[in-house]
Amino acid sequence: MRKWVCSFLLFFLFISDIEAKQKLYVFHRYDCSHCKEELSYLESIKDTYPDVEFIYYEVLKNPTNLKYLEHVKKTLNDENNYVPYTVIGEYSLVGFNENTKLSIQNYITYCIQNDCEDIVAEVIQKKGAISLEELKKTPKIESVKHEKEFALPFFGKVKARELSLPILSIVLGFIDGFNPCAMWVLFFLISMLLGMKNRGKMWILGISFLLSSAIIYALFLVAWLKVTLPLRDILLLRTLIAFVALGTGCFHLRRYRKMHHRKVGCTVTNRKRRNKIMNLIQKFTKEQNLILSLIGVISLAISVNFIELACSAGLPLVYTQILSLNDLSFFAYFWNILLYIIFYLIDDFFVFCIAMFTLKLTGITNRYSKYSHLIGGILLLGIGLLLLFKPELLLFTM
Amino acid sequence: MHIIRISAVWCSSCIVTYQDFLKFKEFYPEFTYEELDYDRDAIEKYKVGSILPLLLFLKEGREVYRLEGEYTKKEMEDIIHEKMGM
């Protein structure tokens, strides 16, 4: 009889020991660098806190875990969508850096002493969010942003992470716009405009051509983004785009090598198609009715940008994939695409304005266009490899 | 010596090098020059390649040398001296 009582007590103790353990939950993505940092940190402090159970939920590959995260965030009324997302008791931490380490230890110590309410367990059990009233205590959220900062003239303090994506938008936009596939159309259009006596009409037609080119190309980028956004977590698509980046990168490098060994000049392409476009431009610019001229020039911009897109299809697709990997707000998507478009058109705008002010067509030497292929090729190869092996390095906001 | 320059309105390399070509003309008035437009003039007989602008150097109606692409005035002069011993 005594044996029975002792084993019952032991069993009871064992059960209560499990019950007593506090639980620390981390919602993370396998491709997020800060998540990896936190998980390895937590592994290093596990022995220090035997009374705490560490539970990790990967949310990119496991939709159930993602559901749990959404319910927990709803319960905590927390709208950000960053990871890593750490919860212990009623405390949650967004992101991870040196300061977070201290907070984690403080929360753990507090929860061990005060037996915190396990919100995540309740959410999982209920398979849904819990209302604040049902919670015994009010949750506390601590959000940590990664604070590498630069001091820039005019802009003041700027965070490095926030600079990476705009810089990428500028570089890729400039390289994309530097491709000569459609530059000749602008030159020919300007040469026709310079023949006009009506300077006002000259400006209107020229600006309309550039603006409609910008709008069309921006719509292309948005369309690519709409395609890649919902599918961004699908590994197959990301791998596919990685190979598009590698393929386009090789194409650009081959173009560079070809141009390197070849004379510098304008490449003469499809004469028939070029004559067709030239005749159209002549017709539109000689048209007396301004509205008809405008319609002609805008439709020309649309068709030319279709050509330009085919000429550099890789770059916009890879760029929008990187954009979609980063959880951005609507305005952040808008600004980055706007930056891309501005630098995509900057050389055209430069040529146009000089021609309009000097009434002389100023060319751009092709001596350096091969280097846009070199830089573009190297960049695309780098991005392709990162997409394949280290996608987290392309996450500028996590 | 007769020099033919084949270029195009839409070709930025042609625009960029035109000033040098004009200076070259001024410097060598003894040569005769001809300017043809790739899209408007009959240029088939000159077998233009895939690069513009193109400079053809003819002696007694026979092509002795051709220069494709962007060349500065100095580069043109060097070729005249080296290739044609002028």
Please give the structure tokens belonging to residue A367.
């001596």
pLDDT of residue A42: 93
- Is the CB of residue A211 less than 8 Å from the CB of residue A343? no
Q: How far apart are CA A176 and CA A341, in angstroms?
A: 9
Whose tokens are 């200076």? That residue is B23
Residue A208 pLDDT level (bands cut at 50, 70, 90): very high
**Cβ <8 Å between B51 and A191:** no
Rounded distance between C-alpha atoms, residue B20 and residue B67, angstroms? 14
Say if the Cβ atoms of B12 and A363 lie within 8 Å.
Answer: yes
Q: CA nearest A320: which of A244, A256, A373? A: A244
**A387 near A245, Cβ under 8 Å?**
yes
Cis status of the peptide bond prior to A391, with omega within 30 of 0: no
Residue B54: band (very low, low, confident or very high) from pLDDT cuts 50, 70, 90: very high
CA dist A283 and A285 (Å) reads 6
Percent of chain A clearing pLDDT 70 (strictly above): 81
Domains and their CATH numbers in chain B: 2-83 (3.40.30.10)
pLDDT per position as a tens digit, A213-249: 999 999 989 988 888 877 766 778 888 888 988 998 9
Predicted pLDDT of residue A57: 93
| Verdict on whether the full-model pTM lies above 0.90 | no
Is the separation of the CB atoms in A119 and A166 below 8 Å? no
Please state, in angstroms and rounded to a whole number, the distance separating the CA atoms of residues A82 and A166.
Answer: 20
The answer to whether A156 touches A163, Cβ cutoff 8 Å, is: no
Which residues in A108-123 are b (16+ Cβ under 10 Å) and which e?
A: beebbeeebebbbebb
| ipTM, 2 dp | 0.86
Is A358 in the B-facing interface, judged by CB distances under 8 Å?
no
Residue A384 contacts residue A245 (beta carbons within 8 Å) = yes
Fill in the DSSP letter of residue A296: H
Find the helix packing angle between A183-194 and A330-358, rounded to 10°. Answer: 40
Residue A265 is nearest to which of B9, B10, B68, comparing CB atoms?
B68
Q: Is the pLDDT of residue A187 over 80?
A: yes
**Nearest-by-Cβ selection for A364 from B9, B12, B39:** B12
**For chain A, what percent of residues have pLDDT higher than 90?**
14
Helix (H) or strand (E) holding A354: helix A330-358
CB–CB contacts below 8 A, A to B: 81
Once rounded to an integer, what is the mean pLDDT over residues A351-360? 86
What are the C-alpha distances in Å from A251 to residues A169, A257, A315? 21, 10, 11
The reported pLDDT for the residue numbered A261 is: 75
Q: What are the beta bridge partners of residue B68?
A: B54
- Chain B closest CA to A183's CA: distance in Å? 8
- Write the pLDDT tens digit of every residue in A316-336: 888 888 888 776 778 888 999
| C-beta separation of A304 from B51 below 8 A | no
| Separation CA B16–CA A282 (nearest Å) | 23
* CA pair distance A396, A257, nearest whole angstrom: 32
What is the structure's pLDDT at A141? 62
How much is the pLDDT for A143?
A: 56
Q: What is the rounded CA–CA span in Å between residue A192 and residue A74?
A: 61
**A7: which 2 tokens?**
């084993």
Q: Which candidate, B19, B9, B16, places its Cα nearest to that of A366? A: B16
| Structure confidence at residue A158 (pLDDT) | 52
The DSSP bridge partners found for residue A93 are A86, A142
Torsion angle of C-alpha atoms B36, B38, B39, B41, degrees rounded to 10: 30
Residue A337's pLDDT band (cuts 50, 70, 90)? very high
Query: Is residue A389 a contact partner of residue A253, using CB atoms and an 8 Å limit?
Result: no
| Residue B83 clears pLDDT 90, i.e. is over it | no
Contact B12, A365 (CB under 8 A): yes
Q: Does A265 touch chain B (CB under 8 A)?
A: yes
Tokens of B39: 């899209």
pLDDT of residue A396: 63
Contact B9 A274 (CB under 8 A): no
pLDDT tier, A368 (very low <50, low <70, confident <90, very high otherwise): confident
When CB atoms are compared, the residue of A183, A266, A367 closest to B8 is A266
Distance between start and end Cα atoms, chain B: 10
